[in-house]
Chains A and B, each alone.
Chain A
């Protein structure tokens, strides 16, 4: 058994699936550590003698099988069916900031549809000088930009408003991905049609049955929205809107309309289903906020976490996670191991980028005692990520969306971690 397989098995054992097998592996590992030469070194391994796969074996590859647990997961009880539903990015197992498209979360309202580039059409109509139709080939001829942004579902962490509910950062914070998009500024296309002076809003809708229509103020449309056709270097995945989606930097994921087929210009918002019945945030007194577009500064420790227990014992421990803000670049992330009594500034893997995921690390020496791990993001506006109680004081527990609270993981002496709330 390779080292990678062993680690994977141990991790699963920790999560309760096969304690007996995990124990045996751990014992074998211990025996090897007690001075005996390591047969993985002293004995010639098959991969050092035989031949590997040829270059013609995999025209488009998938991750090695030992990484089979790094996949999207869904939670069946969340929705009535798996079509208008959500799944979760395995952020617990990833590092850096770019989300591999193949495991980047999905949220559909009438399923992931298949639209070819040949069948694709984009219409611009409404308060314009000239309503226009673009083919996919037309879009590729406009001047292009490439930008990296996070897309966070408005409902990310939404199950956690009333208490600790799901046990893993994938489930509590995994309605998010971060990609490098290439496309045409929406502004360019709108200018091609010529927006009339009375045009103040746009309505964007997808080609799918749900349409996912949303209203966006014209200023945002003319500022940084992209009509994107590439993500992380290649075409969008079907489930992410192939061949064309809208990118709305810093704003709630629902507005990033996939399979974008139409942009209408109007003089007032449309108040569609997705901005009245849904994506409105009910407060304690029963009134609801609407048009809560921006995603506030937020962070989460991805490891250690419930799906990433500490299996290596005491000593050096990498505490790592992600931070992001819809209001601008992340400037700082603080981490506590004692539930917020004392904080240390974490190390950013790279300077925070505007409206994109930022990776942070805290190089810690674990003494084996319990920890209450939290991270706290700060963005370029000076906004400091609040606690859940601070958010509840403003909003109550029924607002469903926009839960950017500080997350706590209780790490026990065994190295196992649990989603908890603290005073």
Chain B
């Protein structure tokens, strides 16, 4: 990259109002949380109005929309159910994400009090707080998240690289080779109709495909 001896003097100073308008992010230590408060009972009604159409009245999820509650003790099972309660390490992330990006299709319409109340309801639905707990910038960090200690920093360099940095085998690498899995057994690949514009969505696949990765 070109190194500049001096600044070019491009751009202009950001005004405090502009920074306040865009800088909403909230960290696990609570930095960025605004004034305001809400409890689960208030949040229940707001959740029903704004969220339940996709996430279900109890955060159980409708159709393929995300499940927000439950799934405890499933992370080491074949089909983990990853929810705010079972998986998310920080309550701050729930506040931050709901405030900035939810409801889907109508983001940034909830007041700070409404976000506190909805987040309180989501936490209550996961048995993480009692129904009389008032969530605010002062109390959010008190919430004990079930999977707070469930994350480790990327350890591929120490764990995997020693195994995978190696001289590859070129001859007589195995005695026999057997096919152990076929994609066509599952048969969930979209058919090529020859005209993608008229492609019809697949009917429900016979075997359930693995969890969507995205």
Known: A77-B188, A340-B173. A132 touches B179 (CB 8 A): no
Is B196 within 8 A of A420, CB to CB? Answer: no
Is B111's beta carbon under 8 Å from chain A? no
| A6–chain B nearest beta-carbon distance, Å | 14
A185-B172 Cα distance, complex, nearest whole Å: 48
Is B19 within 8 A of A125, CB to CB? Answer: yes
Is B213 within 8 A of A17, CB to CB? Answer: no
A273-B150 Cα distance, complex, nearest whole Å: 15
A258-B206 Cα distance, complex, nearest whole Å: 36
Binds A, one of B7-15, B36-44, B113-121, B124-132: B7-15
Binds B, one of A46-54, A55-63, A133-141, A312-320: A133-141
> What 1/0 mask marks residues of chain B from 175 to 194 whose CB sits below 8 Å from any chain A CB?
11111111110101111111
Is A343 within 8 A of B174, CB to CB? Answer: no
| A25–chain B nearest beta-carbon distance, Å | 14
A199-B90 Cα distance, complex, nearest whole Å: 22
| A306–chain B nearest beta-carbon distance, Å | 8
Residues of B within 8 A of A213 (CB): 25, 96, 100
Is A290 within 8 A of B154, CB to CB? Answer: yes
Residues of A within 8 A of B93 (CB): 271-273, 276-277
Is B11 within 8 A of A291, CB to CB? Answer: no
Kindly identify, within residues 51 to 80 of chain A, every residue whose CB is under 8 Å from any CB belonging to chain B: 68-69, 71, 73-80
Q: Looking across the interface, which residue of chain A has its beta carbon closest to that of B90? A: A271
Known: A191-B4, A286-B75, A288-B152. A383 touches B11 (CB 8 A): no
| B191–chain A nearest beta-carbon distance, Å | 7
Partner of A277, one of B87, B170, B181, B182: B87
Is A209 within 8 A of B107, CB to CB? Answer: yes
Is A205 within 8 A of B25, CB to CB? Answer: yes
Binds B, one of A347-355, A361-369, A393-401: A393-401
Is B23's beta carbon under 8 Å from chain A? yes
> What 1/0 mask marks residues of chain B from 25 to 42 whose CB sits below 8 Å from any chain A CB?
111110000000000000
| A250–chain B nearest beta-carbon distance, Å | 13
Kindly identify, within residues 171 to 206 of chain A, every residue whose CB is under 8 Å from any CB belonging to chain B: 171, 185, 187-188, 191-192, 194, 203, 205
Residues of A within 8 A of B66 (CB): 80
Known: A165-B209, A290-B152, A394-B159. A277 touches B13 (CB 8 A): no
Q: Looking across the interface, which residue of chain B has its beta carbon closest to that of A74? A: B190
On chain A, which size bracket covers the interface?
35 or more
Is A79 within 8 A of B188, CB to CB? Answer: no
| A175–chain B nearest beta-carbon distance, Å | 8
Residues of B within 8 A of A382 (CB): 165-166
Is A421's beta carbon under 8 Å from chain B? yes
Is B76 within 8 A of A270, CB to CB? Answer: no
Known: A381-B165, A386-B164, A418-B183. A400 touches B10 (CB 8 A): no
Is A339 within 8 A of B177, CB to CB? Answer: yes
Is B97's beta carbon under 8 Å from chain A? yes
Residues of A within 8 A of B186 (CB): 163-165
Is A145 within 8 A of B2, CB to CB? Answer: yes
| A411–chain B nearest beta-carbon distance, Å | 12
A382-B26 Cα distance, complex, nearest whole Å: 40
Is B101's beta carbon under 8 Å from chain A? yes
Is B136's beta carbon under 8 Å from chain A? no
Is B89 within 8 A of A271, CB to CB? Answer: yes
Is A383 within 8 A of B177, CB to CB? Answer: no
Is A101's beta carbon under 8 Å from chain B? no
Q: Looking across the interface, which residue of chain B has its beta carbon closest to that of A11? A: B192
Is B213 within 8 A of A270, CB to CB? Answer: no
| B140–chain A nearest beta-carbon distance, Å | 13
Is B8 within 8 A of A142, CB to CB? Answer: yes
> What 1/0 mask marks residues of chain A from 383 to 423 whose CB sits below 8 Å from any chain B CB?
11110001000100110110000000010000000111111
Residues of A within 8 A of B100 (CB): 211, 213
Residues of A within 8 A of B137 (CB): none
| A114–chain B nearest beta-carbon distance, Å | 16
| B156–chain A nearest beta-carbon distance, Å | 7
Is A188 within 8 A of B1, CB to CB? Answer: yes
Known: A77-B205, A134-B11, A410-B179. A110 touches B107 (CB 8 A): yes
Partner of A164, one of B18, B104, B165, B181: B181
Partner of B213, one of A110, A155, A292, A338: A155
A69-B196 Cα distance, complex, nearest whole Å: 7
Is A285's beta carbon under 8 Å from chain B? yes
Is A268's beta carbon under 8 Å from chain B? yes
- Indicate the member of B26, B150, B169, B181 with the most A CB atoms within 10 Å: B181
> What 1/0 mask marks residues of chain A from 271 to 307 whose CB sits below 8 Å from any chain B CB?
1110011001010111111111110100000000011
Residues of B within 8 A of A306 (CB): 183, 189
Is A185 within 8 A of B2, CB to CB? Answer: yes
| 17 A-B interface contacts by CB (under 8 A) | A16-B191, A76-B201, A77-B188, A79-B214, A84-B214, A145-B2, A163-B210, A164-B183, A165-B188, A211-B100, A272-B97, A277-B87, A290-B151, A294-B156, A342-B171, A418-B183, A422-B178
**Which A residues are within 8 Å of any B CB, using their own CB?**
12, 15-18, 68-69, 71, 73-80, 83-86, 107, 109-110, 123-126, 130-135, 138, 141-143, 145, 153, 155, 158-159, 161-168, 171, 185, 187-188, 191-192, 194, 203, 205, 209-211, 213, 224, 261-262, 264, 266, 268, 270-273, 276-277, 280, 282, 284-294, 296, 306-307, 334, 338-344, 372, 376, 378, 381-386, 390, 394, 397-398, 400-401, 410, 418-423
Besides the known contacts A164-B183, A167-B184, A209-B107, 7 further A-B residue pairs in the complex with CB atoms under 8 A apart: A123-B19, A142-B10, A262-B23, A307-B192, A385-B164, A418-B182, A420-B182
The 3 tightest CB contacts between A and B, nearest first, are A158-B213, A286-B76, A339-B177
